């Protein structure tokens, strides 16, 4: 199946998911019966509070005074000029407290946990960014925090492990399976079904069983609301294109959602091409046609002919996941968004370009979005506008880049 239903009405895209948690045929709630009851409870609470002005006010206040929102929309003039095409504006999520967009949904979910009277927070983390954001909000609310992290990632991301410990969280290395992010999610789900009454699971992306994809998107959608308003204020028009990297897809959905009905705005979600899709070492889930069910949702994914999940690869840990959010899967299948991929090398080159040309050091995840913008901008007119979500800052990646440069500290 390639792109189906191309003419479907964009006007309805913002109304998804449906009551069963589906975005078209993607999404849903494919979990064991042991989890159904906790998910139904979470959904009911979330739906009630998301429409509660008092909750919204609490959330907005935290975003303003704790996260530091609104984040700027910055016109990268020198970089745009060097590319010789469209004007590129960067949505500066890297300036948020804890250095990435993850704090937006961590705050939202922690507020839910507080309302539900949960004393114990669990989370999964890959690179550690979502773990740090969760440990941060748990510290602030005085909640116990347990972060599951693949044993391989614990070794690779020692700095973030220590950050989480400083924040008072317990980091549990997960030794099962591939010992990476997907296994950390499995372990967090196992924890949750074992102690559901006292536990709130703060999931780190727009994946997983309903209501997580919707809930995390809505907590992140502040990115797109701000960017749309800022772009109109600064340029008096809407952007021509949006670009964001897609691991699970939370920063991308956060940016895209508000623009889904703006048909003139092209949408690009950039996946990690790793060593190149043909090498097999990548995380370009939507470059293939494989769809299936994994960790609670139906989506594009990476698996073998027997349905076993394949380990993904990317230089950027935050994009290194074999599944992808169901809403992205739907946007691809109806043709509303395109999902190109860029390689490790292209992302690393853009990491260096932005650092040298704008004095902004992007996360390697965000560098994938930048690398695609570098390809896209020259194909567009100089008065056209691209908004790129600069989803996180690159400090955490300095070790990785230094290693590639042959340096050790």
Active site residues: 102, 124, 391
How far apart (Å, rounded) are the C-alpha atoms in residues 56 and 381?
A: 40
Nearer to another protein by C-beta: 124 or 258?
124
Please, what is the minimum distance in Å from the beta carbon of residue 19 to another protein? 10
> Checking phi first, is residue 278 left (phi over 0); if not, alpha (psi -120 to 50) or beta?
alpha
Please, what is the minimum distance in Å from the beta carbon of residue 288 to another protein? 12
| Neighbouring-strand partners of residue 266 | 241
User: How many chain residues bind another protein (CB under 8 A)?
Assistant: 38
Sign of the four-CA dihedral 376, 391, 294, 155: positive
Site membership for another protein, residue 131 (CB under 8 A)? no
Considering only residues 188 through 227, tell me which ones interact with another protein, judged by CB under 8 A. 189-190, 193-194, 196
Stretch that binds another protein, among 25-33, 44-52, 91-99, 113-121 (CB under 8 A): 25-33
Query: Which are the contacts of 30, defined by CB distance < 8 A and separation ≥ 6?
Result: 209, 293, 296, 297, 298
Nearer to another protein by C-beta: 29 or 156?
29
From 69, 182, 228, 266, residue interacting with another protein (rule: CB under 8 A): 182
Give the residue from 36, 164, 49 showing the smallest Cα distance to 108: 49
How far apart (Å, rounded) are the C-alpha atoms in residues 399 and 29?
A: 38
Give the residue from 365, 35, 358 showing the smallest Cα distance to 201: 35
Site membership for another protein, residue 32 (CB under 8 A)? yes
How far apart (Å, rounded) are the C-alpha atoms in residues 341 and 366?
A: 13
Nearer to another protein by C-beta: 33 or 54?
33
Site membership for another protein, residue 120 (CB under 8 A)? no
Give the residue from 5, 325, 321 showing the smallest Cα distance to 182: 321
Please, what is the minimum distance in Å from the beta carbon of residue 12 to another protein? 22
Site membership for another protein, residue 30 (CB under 8 A)? yes
| Neighbouring-strand partners of residue 283 | 272
Site membership for another protein, residue 272 (CB under 8 A)? no
How far apart (Å, rounded) are the C-alpha atoms in residues 292 and 1?
A: 13
Q: How far is CA 54 from the centre of its chain?
A: 27
Please, what is the minimum distance in Å from the beta carbon of residue 378 to another protein? 40
Nearer to another protein by C-beta: 39 or 390?
39
Please, what is the minimum distance in Å from the beta carbon of residue 125 to another protein? 17
How far apart (Å, rounded) are the C-alpha atoms in residues 34 and 160?
A: 32
From 34, 170, 264, 279, residue interacting with another protein (rule: CB under 8 A): 34
Q: What is the dihedral of CA 147, 152, 158, 161, to 10 degrees?
A: 0
Considering only residues 291 through 330, tell me which ones interact with another protein, judged by CB under 8 A. 291-296, 301, 303, 305-309
Considering only residues 142 through 181, tell me which ones interact with another protein, judged by CB under 8 A. 176-177
Site membership for another protein, residue 233 (CB under 8 A)? no
Site membership for another protein, residue 50 (CB under 8 A)? no
Site membership for another protein, residue 33 (CB under 8 A)? yes
From 3, 5, 18, 37, residue interacting with another protein (rule: CB under 8 A): 37
Please, what is the minimum distance in Å from the beta carbon of residue 152 to another protein? 15
Between the alpha carbon of residue 113 and those of residues 76, 201, 367, the distances in Å are 39, 9, 33
| Neighbouring-strand partners of residue 270 | 245
How far apart (Å, rounded) are the C-alpha atoms in residues 387 and 88?
A: 6
Site membership for another protein, residue 183 (CB under 8 A)? yes
Please, what is the minimum distance in Å from the beta carbon of residue 321 to another protein? 12
- Residue with tokens 């410990």, as numbered in its chain: 165
Contact residues toward another protein (CB under 8 A) are 20, 28-38, 40, 176-177, 182-183, 185-186, 189-190, 193-194, 196, 290-296, 301, 303, 305-309
């Amino acid at each position: 199946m390639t792109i189906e239903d191309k003419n479907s009405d964009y006007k309805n895209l913002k109304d998804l998911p449906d009551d069963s948690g589906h975005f078209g045929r993607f999404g849903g709630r494919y979990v064991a019966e042991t989890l159904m009851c906790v998910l139904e409870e979470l959904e009911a609470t979330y739906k009630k509070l998301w429409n509660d002005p008092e909750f919204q006010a609490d959330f907005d206040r935290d975003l303003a005074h704790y996260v530091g929102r609104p984040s700027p929309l910055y016109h990268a003039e020198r970089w745009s000029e060097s590319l010789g095409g469209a004007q590129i504006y960067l949505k500066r999520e890297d300036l948020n407290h804890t250095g990435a967009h993850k704090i937006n949904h961590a705050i939202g979910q922690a507020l839910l946990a507080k309302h539900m009277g949960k004393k114990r927070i669990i989370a999964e983390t890959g690179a550690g960014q979502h773990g740090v954001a969760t440990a941060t909000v748990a510290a602030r609310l005085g909640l116990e925090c347990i972060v599951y992290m693949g044993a391989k990632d614990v070794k690779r991301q020692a700095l973030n492990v220590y950050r989480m410990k400083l924040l008072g969280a317990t980091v549990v290395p997960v030794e099962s399976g591939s010992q990476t992010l997907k296994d950390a999610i499995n372990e967090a789900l196992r924890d949750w079904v074992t102690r559901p009454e006292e536990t709130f699971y703060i999931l780190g992306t727009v994946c997983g069983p309903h209501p997580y994809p919707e809930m995390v998107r809505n907590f992140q959608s502040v990115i797109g609301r701000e960017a749309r308003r800022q772009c109109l204020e600064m340029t008096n028009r809407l952007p021509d294109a949006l670009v964001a990297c897609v691991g699970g897809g939370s920063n991308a959905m956060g940016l895209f959602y508000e623009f889904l009905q703006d048909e003139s705005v092209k949408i690009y979600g950039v996946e990690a091409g790793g060593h190149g899709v043909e090498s097999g070492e990548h995380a370009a889930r939507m470059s293939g046609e494989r769809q299936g069910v994994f960790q609670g949702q139906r989506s594009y994914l990476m698996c073998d002919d027997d349905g076993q999940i394949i380990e993904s690869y990317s230089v950027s840990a935050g994009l290194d996941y074999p599944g992808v959010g169901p809403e992205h899967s739907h946007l691809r299948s109806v043709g509303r968004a395109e999902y190109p991929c860029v390689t490790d090398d292209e992302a690393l080159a853009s990491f260096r370009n932005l650092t040298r040309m704008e004095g902004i050091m992007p996360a390697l995840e965000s560098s994938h979005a930048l690398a695609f913008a570098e390809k896209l901008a020259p194909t567009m007119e100089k008065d056209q506008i691209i908004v790129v979500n600069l989803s996180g800052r690159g400090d955490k990646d300095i070790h990785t880049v230094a290693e590639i440069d042959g340096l050790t500290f």
